[in-house]
A and B are shown apart, each in its own frame.
Chain A
Amino acid sequence: MEDIGNLFHGFAVVVQPFNLVLMFVGIVLGVIVGVLPGLGGANGVAILLPLTFSMSPTSAIIMLSCIYWGALFGGAITSILFNIPGEPWSVATTFDGYPMAQNGRAGEALTAAFTSSFVGALFAVIIITLVAPLVASFALRFGPPEIFAVYFLAFCSFVGLSKEPPFKTVASMMLGFGLGAVGLDQMTGQLRLTFGVEQMLNGFDFLIAVIGLFGIGEILLTMEEGLSFRGKPAALNMRVVLQTWAKLPRYWMLYLRSCLIGCWMGISPAGATPASFMSYGIAKRISKNGHLFGTGQIEGVVAPETAAHAAGTSALLPMIALGVPGSPTAAVLLGGLLIWGLQPGPLLFVEQKDFVWGLIASMYMGNIVGLLVVLTCVPLFAAILRIPFSVIAPVIMVFCAIGAYTVHNNTFDVVMMVVFGVAGYFMKKCNYPMAPMVLAIVLGDKAEEAFRQSLLASQGGLGVFYSTGLVSTIMTLGLIALFWPLIQAGWTRLRSGKLRPAE
């Protein structure tokens, strides 16, 4: 098969010494980013994006995606040892991970978490290797209506699948589209919504939004809650690792289920966080030990970690194959592609073979390197959390500011970052999801372009979105996703005579 050959070629690119060093640096930075409060996958990658401007795109994406894997691994360390989820998707890991650490089984919990993350990611990468080229070659046939339909599906899934109130999701998403529209209109070349303010000519860059919403906003939240780090000792020796590994294969069914949940949630842009909760919830209901969940069950660590990592990884599938990122971090990576001069989307597989297969190969390698790094260096990373917040907080602020400045070499952007930070604080407190807003700012221009081109072809008739079988199917899927909560409620009511209602 041609793809296999390409993949091996990708491996050859990845194992070049320079790229291996970048991979290692990326993983270490990523774990640090994942461990620190206020820095997560999305804004960690956004802040470090400028470091890659002088690299080749392949090296750059290897380093950035490794930061992402590192962040996914890092979230588990703080959840288990400190009961502080470093990332939203590791909240579910604290339920059983922290009790395990309290019972002196921290090593077992960490090993289980890292191994599960690895399995989840590996499963998702295999899915990407097999499916992404097919999706991409299929998507090459897409015209503007189909492209818009794909965006429609992506955004509808947000509304239907997120746990926030649907109209809050809609409000923040549409506000994102509005913010994305500010500045130069790409189709007519006209300025809009700038109100004569010079700094708004270029519009709002989503990288600024990411750094502000997720970085500054998170620090403000952390400040409000007050920080007390009281960690459990972290000792990982080979014996514990091997003992835990011997135990894990008996949970293969749990793994498989969590992987599938993760991939499904990751590809539809619901993301890693709901995937981890869903996987935990289902494992709790199905497991024989379900009533013991929350007291330190290893299954309660395996389920959310596998799903979160599978989701986090598979979120890159639509990004590579369609140019539609499945998560804020994937969106930042997509922004990186644009900066390096690559056009995301199905053509990438045809025109930039080296890049795509280098990225996919680095997913395999990055997760193996990541597993080794975290298994060996846990005490080191746990020590980072013992640095007092009064030192780490201003340093994080400084890096956020540098990250925001370097996007356009513009100090006004740094001011905007703080504005987004305050907005992020209020949005988070009031339960408005931020991921749809970020994705809307990224994809706004493209979605609008596809929408307007479709309308142009049909002279304004909305019927163009139901004109062919393909576009109708995607649009219908989108509508199903949009009204999913209603459909689910109706279905539950129908069956409520026999079964107890779903959560």
Chain B
Amino acid sequence: MSQTVKETGGTGPSHRSVEIGVAGFMALLALIGIYGSIKVGIGWADDGPRAGFFPFYVSIVVLIACAINLISVLATDKERLFAEWGQLRQVLSVLVPTIVYVCLIPYLGIYVSSALLIAFFMRVFGRYGWIATVAVSVAVPILTFLMFETWFLVPLPKGPLESMLGF
């Protein structure tokens, strides 16, 4: 990714390079779609169009649209920032814990993972004391548990803690 430096503000990736990346990624998905469609057959069988018929042409249109978008992006201003690195760090600081959270759900269950996520946010971003942190991060999952499991009878993924408690 090319970098742009502005004298006044911070630095960051240019908007143009990200646009190129997005268009390229969509084109890649389109190519995968075309490949997959050809594999199941895009022509006609005895009983009508094959399974790959529709996704094949759809992918072709995506590819064409991406090409046009790419051309129009190349004509845009190189100087415009996508976001400053500091902003991107902010985004990542939310995204990374979320990814960890999502990966923990199958192992710890949704309630324990949620408590950990809320506690992490409150400690790190909110700089709350331990009492407030523990209070909120325990209360929210318990309320969720009551609302979903007992009131609306919707089961959510549970982990070792819940099975220890006998649920």
Contact = CB atoms under 8 A, between A and B. Distances in A.
Interface in A202-255: 216, 219-220, 223-226
A452 B32 CA distance: 22
Interface string B103-127: 1011000100010011011100110
Contacts of A389: 125
B61 interface: yes
Nearest to A426: B22
B49 A430 contact: no
A-B residue pairs, 7 tightest by C-beta: A390-B126, A171-B65, A185-B51, A390-B125, A193-B36, A394-B121, A181-B55
Contacts, number: 186
Contact of B154 (A50, A167, A188): A50
A50 B117 CA distance: 22
B62 A175 contact: yes
Given A192-B37, A224-B91, A390-B125, A455 B48 contact: yes
A456 B122 contact: no
A184 to B, nearest CB: 9
Interface string A272-289: 000000000000000000
B68 A53 contact: no
A190 B98 contact: no
Residue of B59, B65, B69 with most chain A CB atoms under a 10 A cut-off? B65
A216 B97 CA distance: 13
B69 A460 contact: no
A442 interface: no
17 contacts: A174-B59, A178-B30, A178-B55, A178-B58, A181-B54, A192-B52, A216-B98, A219-B94, A220-B94, A224-B83, A224-B90, A391-B122, A391-B136, A394-B121, A397-B101, A398-B114, A452-B48
A481 B157 CA distance: 46
Contacts of B18: 426, 429-430
B18 to A, nearest CB: 7
B122 A390 contact: yes
A427 interface: yes
A448 interface: yes
A425 B94 CA distance: 13
Contacts of B83: 224, 429
Residue of B49, B83, B101, B110 with most chain A CB atoms under a 10 A cut-off? B49
Contacts of A53: 152, 154
A415 B102 contact: yes
B110 A405 contact: yes
Given A219-B94, A401-B110, A391 B36 contact: no
B51 A223 contact: no
Contacts of A470: none
Interface of A is mostly: helix
A402 B54 contact: no
A401 B94 CA distance: 14
Contacts of A223: 90-91, 93-94
A178 B62 contact: yes
B65 A406 contact: no
B91 A414 contact: no
Interface of B: 15, 18-19, 21-23, 26, 29-30, 32-33, 36-37, 39-40, 44-45, 47-55, 58-59, 61-62, 65-66, 68-69, 72, 82-83, 87-88, 90-91, 93-95, 98-99, 101-103, 105-106, 110, 114, 117-118, 120-122, 125-126, 128, 136, 140-141, 144, 147-148, 152-157
A281 to B, nearest CB: 25
Nearest to B141: A398
A194 to B, nearest CB: 8
Given A193-B33, A452-B53, A455-B49, A427 B69 contact: no
Contacts of A426: 18, 21-22
A171 B28 CA distance: 12
Residue of A391, A405, A429 with most chain B CB atoms under a 10 A cut-off? A391
A203 to B, nearest CB: 11
Contacts of B121: 390-391, 393-394
Given A216-B98, A397-B98, A398-B117, A187 B148 contact: no
A467 interface: no
B98 A193 contact: no
A232 B76 CA distance: 39
Contact of B54 (A414, A415, A452): A452
A165 B122 contact: no
Nearest to A452: B49
Contact of A167 (B32, B40, B69, B136): B69
Nearest to A455: B49
B88 A405 contact: no
Contacts of A394: 114, 117-118, 120-122
B101 A224 contact: no
Contacts of A378: none
A418 B98 contact: yes
Nearest to A179: B29
A165 B69 contact: yes
A464 to B, nearest CB: 13
A170 B91 contact: no
Contact of B88 (A165, A185, A224, A430): A224
A168 interface: yes
B65 A174 contact: yes
Given A185-B51, A414-B102, A175 B140 contact: no
